[in-house]
Each structure stands twice: as C-alpha cells, then as structure tokens.
Amino acid sequence: MAISGNLTAIAYLVASVLFILALRGLSSPETARAGNLYGIAGMAIAILTTVIDPEVASYGWILAAFAIGGLIGMTVALKIQMAAMPQLVAAFHSLVGMAAVLVAGAALDNPQAYGITDAAGAILLSSRIEMGLGAAIGAITFSGSIVAFTKLQGLVSGNPIVFSGQHWLNLLLGIVTIVLLAYFTLEQSPELFWAMTALSFLIGILIIIPIGGADMPVVISMLNSYSGWAAAGIGFTLQNSALIVTGALVGSSGAILSYIMCRAMNRSFFSVILGGFGGDPTAANTAAGDKSTKSGSAEDAAFVMKNAGSVIIVPGYGMAVAQAQHALREMADKLKEAGVRVRYAIHPVAGRMPGHMNVLLAEANVPYDEVAELEEINSDFASTDVAFVIGANDVTNPAARDDPGSPIYGMPILDVDKARTVLFVKRSLSPGYAGIDNDLFYRDNTMMLFADAKQLTEGVVKAL
C-alpha cells in the first residue's frame, strides 16, 4: 500500500503531536502511563508511515532489522532490573549516536539514493553541514554513552579519571574537529569526514572519563540531549520531518532537564555541556578516624518510628540495588495504621538517573501525594520526628552545606540531619558514589542500621 506525500506529512504531524503529548504526560507520575501510550502510538504511526513509503524498494532488510531489534528489545525489557535502568538508558543513547554516524556515512557514500545532490552530482552544502553535525554529535554521544555505561555497570571505576592538561586537550580536539567539519562542508572529502568522526569519538571518551559517579544523573540527561540533536541532524539528511521534530524534542527537553539538575547540584550548565564537570577530584576525603557511631537493629528502628508522630523516608540507590521498595511501602502502611504520618523525600539526583526513585516508588504503588521533591519538603525536616534514610548518601551529606572544602560543597541536599532522629540504613560506613565520608553517620541524633536495605526493612515490618 503506497501513501501520498500529503498523507505522509499529515501522518508525521500526528506522530509529532503525540510525541509532544508523551513528553507532557511523562512530566508527572499521575500521567506517565498515558504519556507512554502517546509515545508508543506516535512511534507506531511514524514507523508505519515510513515503511509504506512508495520509495521503499525492498522489505527484506527492514523486516530483518525489525525481528532482530524487537527480539533484543523484548529480551532486555523482560530481564533488566530497575537498579540497572541507568546503564540501560546510557546504552540506548549509544545506539542513537551510532545510528546517526552510520546514516551520515551511508549518505556520504551514496548521496544520490538520499536525494541530496545537485545537478552536477555534488552533495548540497546544507546536507553536508547536516551530515557533519549529525555524525560529530552522534560519535560523541556513542563513545560518551559507552563510557557512562561501563562506569554505571561497574566495569570500570566510577572515580574521575583526570590528567594534566586534560581540559586544554579537549579544547584543542574540539577546535580541530570544528575546523575539519568546516573543510568537509567546503570540499566534500570522505577523508575529512571520517577524520572528524574519529576525533569526535575520542572527544566523547575524554569528556566523560573525568566525571565522577555522583554526577552520573546529569551525564545521563546530557547524553539524552546529545542523542536528540544527533537524530535531528540526520533527520535533515533523510528529509524526514518526524525525525527532525522528535530529535529536537529530545534534544531540547534533555537540555532543559540538564539545566534543572545542574541547579540541583550547584553545577555550571556550560561546564556540563562541555564535559568534565565533576567535583574536584584532588580534594581530600575525610576519613572516619576515631569517630564512633551508634548502631541499632530493625527492632530498634520499629520502636522509634512507631512512637513517632511523623516520619520522612529518604530513598537512594541502595534501595534500588536491594529492591527494597515493596518492603518499604509495606513498612509505611504499617506505620500509617499506627497513626504515624509518613512521607517520602526525593532529591533530584537520587539514584543514577533522573526520576530513578520516583519510578521505583511508583512500581511499589506508593501514593503520589505522599512523595515530595526537595523544595517542597526540605523545610519540614526540622519539625519531623524521624528521617528514615534508606540507601541515600551523598544527597544527605551535610558537608555539601557546611564544608567549603568539600568537593560537593554548594550542592543542595535533603536536610535530614535536622530531624529529631535519623535512622540511616547502610551496609557499612563506606563513602557514597562521590567518594566522600558522610559526617551524618557520627552525629548524636543518628542511629546506623547496618544491613541490606531489603532485609532490614522486612525486619522492621515484622517488628511492627
């Protein structure tokens, strides 16, 4: 079945509107399910419209790609754990980046098939600019996403990797890449194109390796934006309006989210865009030394919370790793039955990606009206009986507020230390992803609960 140009334009317009509605829906937990459905519908329309285009000569490769990609996607979706979602997102970003590079390379090799040549057979200047930008941004996205994946997966250390003159090297490579891109747009040389692409792959590695684990949520958001701009650039090459609009939506929304998260972490937005924006890796880590802690058991925690008037739960990556969200919901229900007011406090960069904790709590059917962001709830800790911190570390570290010498100084934190009692669930006194000791462990109003987050929470439920 063929489809006319006008119907194609209308179908792509409908798909674009659905993508916009998807982003709008995904901005809130209450409408996230509808947002997902809008996105699925928009993608289905865009794919179907593209596939039934009269210029498609053969469906063999297309159907093979559908089968292979669909099988891989379904397998990953069924097996992936929520704790591993950040590295999965990073891996997906890498695929978008590589797709942009491959499409640009294919268009350079056979521009007539893409309809981007002039009467003399040369690639149009506008198309050369679009191809070059798409390939460069795509290459940076691919290699940067791979580095982020290896850090999040634990294949390499999450600590910043730095060396002398690193920023100057990045600047030099960036200038050379821009020069090569400019020459490519003038001369249409395959050698210039692939040299520019190779340098872009190197830049992607170099701008991510100096970023520490505590900044990974911003990395994921930044790479998301990069992947969108790469897709938009290739959309021009393919003359596909749906891809242009979708890429622009992803790129702009990712940039806005990066800006919001930079504010949440007191980072410079431009340093994020340029990479290498983690805390000072040379800053000394404060060791525990002779400091002592007060430790307790699940029974102690149950007694303290059952006799409290209000409890604020602060989830973090440790909860995700232990998959303790369902036990946490059960604990909260027991406390509410005992007349305790229970709420959840979410830091913008808790976990390893934006919204990580919100998704986990939604999976456990935690009521949306009990979940509050940092700005909404931070002032309430001072009047709260108990702050129950389960797996969060850096986002509750008072050093970010009180110690000008700390690498995370200036990052807004959840003021859990101001609660009357702090119950801190953690396996050990090891520092968080930022590699910084947390003074909160040793304060008089803190009781450390050394255990696996899920087992400890289940113990509290049993005691309640």
Q: Determine the Cα–Cα distance for residues 251 and 236; give it in Å rounded to an integer.
A: 15
Beta strand pairing call for 386-390 and 310-315: parallel
Q: H or E stretch including 311? A: strand 310-315
188: left (phi over 0), alpha (psi -120 to 50) or beta: left
Q: Determine the Cα–Cα distance for residues 315 and 428; give it in Å rounded to an integer.
A: 17
Whose tokens are 């962001």? That residue is 373
Paired strand residues for 123: 117
Q: Determine the Cα–Cα distance for residues 28 and 16; give it in Å rounded to an integer.
A: 20
Helix (H, G, I), strand (E, B) or coil at 108: helix
- HEC sequence for 278-291: CCCCCCCCCCCCCC
Whose tokens are 């790609």? That residue is 65
Label residue 452 exposed, middle or buried (CB < 10 Å: 0-12, 13-18, 19+).
middle
Which of 264, 369, 358, 258 has its CA nearest to residue 316? 358
* 20: phi then psi, degrees, rounded to nearest 5: -65, -45
Query: Catalytic residues, which ones?
Result: 394
235: left (phi over 0), alpha (psi -120 to 50) or beta: alpha
Residues in contact with 361: Cβ distance below 8 Å, sequence separation at least 6, in sequence order: 315, 325, 329, 344, 371
Beta strand pairing call for 371-373 and 446-450: unpaired
Helix (H, G, I), strand (E, B) or coil at 446: strand
Q: Determine the Cα–Cα distance for residues 442 and 373; give it in Å rounded to an integer.
A: 26
